[in-house]
Structure 1
Amino acid sequence: MLLQRFRRPGLDEMNRAVDSLVLSEAVFKTCPWQPRDLVETGLRQWLRCCGAALRDSQVIGMPSHSVDEAWHGLILCTQRYERFCRDAYGQFLHHFPDGDGFGAGKNADPEPVAEQLRRTVVAWSMVARPGEQCVLWNMDTVVGVDRPWGIPETRVAEIEQALRDTAG
C-alpha cells in the first residue's frame, strides 16, 4: 500500500493561493447577494481562516450564510476546488454541514456551533493582515440575507480580548 504524503504549505503560500483563486460565475449561481465583491472578500477570508484551522487540526464554524453559499458553489467546481485545496492547504478541505457529525468522528457528539464560531475568530486572528477588517461577522446583515447568521460584535470582542490576555 502506497501512502501519499502531503506537503503543508506555509501561511504565505496559502495566502497566495487564496488571492489568486479565480472565482468563476458558477461559484455564485446560488449566491445572489450583492455587492458580489463583498461576498467574494468574505469567501477569501473564510478560506484563509480554514487554512489556519487545518494547520491546527481544528473544525471552525461558518459565520455567514451568503459566504457559505459561495463556498458551496466553489466546491461544485470540483477540479478547481481540488487544485485550490492542494495548492493552499496541501490537502482537501472537506465540508461538514451542520448536523452531519462526520467531521466530529464516528461516535462523537456534535460540537456546539458557538465553540466552532469561537475558533473561527481565533483562526481569523492568525491570518488577518495588518489593518484588515473581517467582513464575515456581519456579512449577512450587510448584504440583506433574510435570516442572517453572524457573530455579534460583542462576542468577537470578548474572544479577541481573551486571546490578548492569554498572549500577554
Structure 2
Amino acid sequence: MRFRRRAPIARANRAVADLVLPDAVYKTCPWQPRALVETGLRQWLRCCAAALHDGQVIGMPSHAVDEAWHGFILCTARYTAFCETAYGRYLHHHPDGGAPDGARAQADSMADQLRRTVIAWSLVADPGEECVLWDLDRHVGVAEPWGICSRRVAEIDTAIAGFSED
C-alpha cells in the first residue's frame, strides 16, 4: 500500500520541482517576499497530490497562496499541462460555495478541510521539511490572514503519530 501511495506523490513532487511559474501567476498576488508565496504554492500543489490520490478535499490555509493559485489557473494551458503531469488529471478549484451540487467540498467544514491539509502535508513532506502554509499570510502581511494555528497543527500531528503507531 505504501508503494502505491509513493508513486503518485513522487510524480507530483517531480512536476512541482520542475514547474516554472510565470510572472502572470502573481498579477493579483502582491504580497512579498514572492519567494515565500511561491514556496507555499509549491507545498500546496504537493498536498493536492496526496488529497487527490485519497479522494479527499483539502482546505486552503493561505489567502496569498490562493491568489497565486488563481493566477496559475488563469495560465490555462500551462496549468492544464502541469495537472496532467503532476496528477494525471485536472485539479479543479472549488472556492467557497462554488463546488457542484453534491460535491464533498460543499458538505465538509473548513476546519475538516484544513485538518486534511495538515494530514496531506504529513504524507508529502520531506523529513524535517517545515510547512510555510500554516501562517504564511501573517509573514507576508495579508490584512485578514487565513491559516491554521500552530497549536491545532500540533494536535493533528500528534493524532497522526498516534494513529501510525497503532
Change in Cα spacing, 1:71 to 1:94, as seen in structure 2 (3 Å) is: same
Alignment match of 2:51 (pick from 38, 50, 53): 53
The answer to which structure has the higher helix fraction is 2
TM (normalized to structure 1)?
0.91
Alignment match of 1:110 (pick from 102, 107, 110): 107
CA contact (8 A) 2:12 2:87 kept: yes
- How much is the aligned-residue C-alpha RMSD, in angstroms? 1.5
Structure-2 residue corresponding to 1:148: 145
Identity percentage over the alignment? Answer: 63
Structure-1 residue corresponding to 2:65: 67
Counterparts of 2:101 and 2:163, CA distance in 1 = 28
CA contact (8 A) 1:21 1:84 kept: yes
Q: CA deviation at 1:101?
A: 3.4
Change in Cα spacing, 1:44 to 1:32, as seen in structure 2 (3 Å) is: same
Q: CA deviation at 1:134?
A: 0.1
3-state secondary structure, aligned to 2:107 = coil
Structure-2 residue corresponding to 1:163: 160
Long gaps (5+) in structure 1:
1-8
| Runs of 4+ with deviation above 6 angstroms | none
Counterparts of 1:52 and 1:104, CA distance in 2 = 22
2:19 equivalent to 1:21: yes
TM (normalized to structure 2)?
0.92
